[in-house]
Amino acid sequence: MNQPPTPKWAHSPEQCAGQRCIFHNPTAHTMNDWPYSLRPSGLVERLCPHGVGHPDPDSVAWLEANGAPGYGLHGCDGCCRPAVEGSNE
């Protein structure tokens, strides 16, 4: 897994202790090597090889754990399906 360094705009490790987190406690999903971008909402999206933004499942989990549900919904070309369905391979 080729995780990027934690950006300066990310929350602190204490804020996500014990939770899934794209920066501090990432899961091994199929999109980890894709570039990411931060949406104004706080959602981190992964950009697939086809140019489609997919919500990072760790970002979605963190947002949901912090009272912001519904960020996993997106226009999808199928690239993230294994990650969204829970396959951590």
Look at residue 44 and tell me if it is in a domain: yes
Structure tokens at 23: 């920066």
Q: Which domain holds residue 50?
A: 18-84
Look at residue 9 and tell me if it is in a domain: no
Cα(68)–Cα(83) distance, integer angstroms: 20
The per-residue pLDDT for 56 is: 92
Which region among 28-32, 68-72, 80-84 has the lowest average model confidence (pLDDT)?
Answer: 80-84
- The answer to whether the Cα torsion of 26, 28, 32, 36 is positive or negative is negative
Look at residue 89 and tell me if it is in a domain: no
* Run of H or E residues at 53: strand 53-55
- For the segment 45-52, the average pLDDT, to the nearest whole number, is 89
- For the segment 50-63, the average pLDDT, to the nearest whole number, is 88
Residue 88 has pLDDT above 70, yes or no: no
Look at residue 75 and tell me if it is in a domain: yes
Higher per-residue confidence, 84 vs 10 = 10
